[in-house]
Amino acid sequence: MRAVVIGAGTETARIDGISAAGADPEAMVHTPGADLEIVAYGAPVLSPVVPVSPSGCPTPALVTRAARELLGFEVLSVDAGLVRPTGAPTVTVGEEAGKDVRKACPVSNGRDVFEAARRFGRALPDDELMTGETIPGGTTTAMAVLSALGERTTVSSSLQKNPLSLKQRVVEEALAASDLSEGGAADEPIEALRCMGDPMLAAAVGFVRGASETGTDVTLAGGTQMAAVGALARHAGVEASLTLATTSFVVRDDSADIDGLAADLDIDLVVTDPGFEELDHPATNAYIAGEAKEGVGMGGALALCKRAGVPMAEVSDRVVTVYERLVGNGQADVNRTEP
Amino acid sequence: MRAVVIGAGTETARIDGISAAGADPEAMVHTPGADLEIVAYGAPVLSPVVPVSPSGCPTPALVTRAARELLGFEVLSVDAGLVRPTGAPTVTVGEEAGKDVRKACPVSNGRDVFEAARRFGRALPDDELMTGETIPGGTTTAMAVLSALGERTTVSSSLQKNPLSLKQRVVEEALAASDLSEGGAADEPIEALRCMGDPMLAAAVGFVRGASETGTDVTLAGGTQMAAVGALARHAGVEASLTLATTSFVVRDDSADIDGLAADLDIDLVVTDPGFEELDHPATNAYIAGEAKEGVGMGGALALCKRAGVPMAEVSDRVVTVYERLVGNGQADVNRTEP
């Protein structure tokens, strides 16, 4: 089992109020690179911060790292177009961050990214791969892509309260900018991701397509963004069985309707509840309140722990350990607003 | 423990008869990238070949991979200036391969590579690091650097018979091209590696310097190339204790005089004999005959196995398994000349 985490940027994240994947827009450009470093090394290395939401919720990268420390699975970081360089070792499949989805063709290199990732997915020798993402603003581009494909546009949010009407407005502007109607890019996944997506989506669907061509078992680790990858894969002709491993926090988010989305796409849903309610700790409390919910492969990492028989209490304890280690270094509080 | 493998290219490898790190000069440009892929995934991924010497000796990357499969240690691949892109996830500290060492300033970006690697070595959170290399032609640039520093110019070779007089001639031409005398760059390690070195040396010494600044324990995993890194580190003011973990094949090579070199530099020498004599297999026989000897961190990987109490017979068995897996895929024979 190898976990593939795909990082990228999109200017869509700069739209005010769209994402909580960083303390502020300035910090947000560092989030994907920092997430990859935390999963790779257990701490940021070249990135200046531990990503936290404006209210102080730490990045789900801590959960994926905790799972990795318990299970020792291998992680492959993929750079699909990061805004800032990361200190994590990466395979690069794209060199440019995405433009604002309200512009025409925000992912102009989308076909190249797709093809590079596809070659790569085909080449990996693993029998089983899990793939997750880190891209602030990604649920909005996911919604835009689902709209262009004519799929159910129900997406989750890293914010406690999903800014759905704002997202809907952005998607409408995006459709108009690319002269597309809802469902106008059905069966044209490359068109959908070039006009309405982000570089992570381009890389992830290429990757899934390539891996499935060689019979590799693929788990999409994440929430509605990874479901959008599944939608793109289905529209790209991937018929292999696909699993979406997500968290109970995404399932509890009615605006996400992850069950409906997965069912539409004939994707098996695996849900893991980390049992954070058992703790009362700043590392986990914001999740219970409905922030963050998913990301950086969190749902998949939890599913791996469950499959390996690691009790969720042990996972939570390790999340706290990782958090304390980072806070102990004075790093986690850098951008944290005390509640 | 994290093993750092630094890959790069130098046009010095194109000098006829200088290196056996590839079946021919055409194949040799793929060697570092393929080595990194083999250590990362157990097989080449984007590289077209499994590196073999002209006589068919497989790359020492197989040994490092075998050790990794037994012990599960983490590997960080560093791109210091590869000729061809690799499919292994990398941290990039340099974008250019080195020029022929007989030209003036073959590593013109050497200071930048050194500084990037130094920052990186300082940033890594590990208590203990091991660092190895993959760069065809590297013993010649190592000899050139040792000469410029005024150290003993005894180096090993991937060839059974070390082409010492050829190397000596190349070093003399290199000194002349850079207007340097033997010892002319003592205490000027950056000057030495820019004028006489290769990008791997620039990255490795930067890395050692940075890691030692934060008290990280560093093991140089390799033969005379890594000893040259140690020499550069000493001339760069690194006073921390350093260990060189190498193979019995390097020690048996009188032209290398690794004991003398290590003693001169106040570097502890750890030698591991993998006991390949116990086997009679194409994966290991060429080592007994004196080919390859070291590379891709082999000596360090064997030392880790020994420290963990893994019997060398088990390591050899795993080397054979890795080899058979690659040959079974029809990949190892691609560039192999049958004896």
Per-residue pLDDT tens, chain B, 339 aa: give them. 999 999 999 999 999 999 988 888 889 999 999 999 999 999 999 999 899 998 889 999 999 999 999 999 999 999 999 999 999 999 999 999 999 999 999 999 999 999 999 999 999 999 999 999 999 999 999 999 999 999 999 999 999 999 999 999 999 999 999 999 999 999 999 999 999 999 999 999 999 999 999 999 999 999 999 999 999 999 999 999 999 999 999 999 999 999 999 999 999 999 999 999 999 999 999 999 999 999 999 999 999 999 999 999 999 999 999 999 987 654 444 333 333
Residue A136 CA to its chain's centroid (Å): 8
- Closest in B72, B78, B89 to A76, CB measured: B89
Q: Rounded to 10 degrees, what is the CA torsion of B311, B313, B318, B324?
A: 180
Determine whether the interchain pair A72/B72 forms a contact, defined as Cβ–Cβ distance below 8 Å. Answer: yes
Nearest to A22 by CA among A223, A85, A14, A87: A14
CA distance A195 to A218: 26
Note the pTM of the prediction, 2 decimals: 0.94
Spell out which residues of chain A touch residue B46, defining contact as CB-CB under 8 Å. 119-120, 123
Spell out which residues of chain A touch residue B117, defining contact as CB-CB under 8 Å. none
CA distance A89 to A11: 24
Q: How far is A43 from chain B (nearest CA, A)?
A: 7
Determine whether the interchain pair B125/A72 forms a contact, defined as Cβ–Cβ distance below 8 Å. Answer: no
pLDDT of residue A327: 79
Is residue A283 exposed (0-12), middle (13-18) or buried (19+ Cβ within 10 Å)? buried
Asked whether B186 and B265 are in contact (CB, 8 A), the reply is no
Q: Rounded to 10 degrees, what is the CA torsion of A313, A319, A320, A324?
A: 160
Q: Stretch A254-271: mean pLDDT, rounded?
A: 96
CA distance A270 to A87: 32
Q: Stretch A230-234: mean pLDDT, rounded?
A: 98
- Closest in A42, A46, A72 to B123, CB measured: A46
The b/e string for A292-314 (b: 16+ C-beta within 10 A; e otherwise) is: bbbbbbbbbbbbbbbeeebebee
Both structure tokens of A36: 């990859």
Coil, helix or strand for A130? Answer: strand
CA distance B322 to B108: 38
CA distance B27 to B261: 31
Report chain A's mean pLDDT, rounded to a whole number: 94
In chain A, the largest separation of any two C-alpha atoms, in whole Å, equals 51
For B150, other C-beta atoms within 10 Å of its C-beta total 17
Q: What is the CA radius of gyration of chain A?
A: 18
Spell out which residues of chain A touch residue B95, defining contact as CB-CB under 8 Å. none
The chain B residue lying nearest A43, using CA atoms, is B125
Asked whether A86 and A77 are in contact (CB, 8 A), the reply is yes
pLDDT of residue A328: 65
Beta-strand (E) ranges in A204-265? 217-221, 242-247
User: ipTM beyond 0.85?
Assistant: yes
Q: What is the CA radius of gyration of chain B?
A: 18
- Confidence grade of residue A35 (pLDDT, cut at 50, 70, 90): very high
pLDDT of residue A22: 87
Q: How far is B262 from chain A (nearest CA, A)?
A: 31
- Closest in A45, A46, A124 to B41, CB measured: A124
| CA angle (B275, B281, B286) in 5-degree steps | 75
Question: Given the structure tokens 């290991």, which residue do they identify?
Answer: B284
- Confidence grade of residue A329 (pLDDT, cut at 50, 70, 90): low
Asked whether B42 and B168 are in contact (CB, 8 A), the reply is no
Asked whether B300 and B261 are in contact (CB, 8 A), the reply is no
In chain B, the largest separation of any two C-alpha atoms, in whole Å, equals 51
The chain A residue lying nearest B118, using CA atoms, is A46
Phi-psi region of A296 (alpha: psi -120 to 50; beta: other; left: phi over 0): left
- Return the bridge partners of B267, or none: B242
pLDDT of residue B36: 98
Q: How far is B75 from chain A (nearest CA, A)?
A: 10
* Residues near A231 by beta carbon (within 8 Å), at least 6 away in sequence: A145, A146, A149, A151, A261, A265
Determine whether the interchain pair A119/B46 forms a contact, defined as Cβ–Cβ distance below 8 Å. Answer: yes
B interface with A, Cβ–Cβ < 8 A, is: 41-43, 45-46, 72, 76-78, 87-91, 119-120, 123-126
CA distance A86 to A51: 13
The chain B residue lying nearest A122, using CA atoms, is B45
The CATH fold of domain B2-328: Rossmann fold (3.40.50)
CA distance A99 to A103: 7
Determine whether the interchain pair B119/A42 forms a contact, defined as Cβ–Cβ distance below 8 Å. Answer: no
The b/e string for A182-200 (b: 16+ C-beta within 10 A; e otherwise) is: bebbeebbbbbbbbbbbbb
Both structure tokens of A18: 């769209």
- Closest in B45, B90, B124 to A45, CB measured: B124
AA identity, residue B137: G
Pairing of strands B74-79, B217-221: unpaired
Determine whether the interchain pair B89/A89 forms a contact, defined as Cβ–Cβ distance below 8 Å. Answer: yes
The chain A residue lying nearest B124, using CA atoms, is A45
pLDDT of residue B21: 87
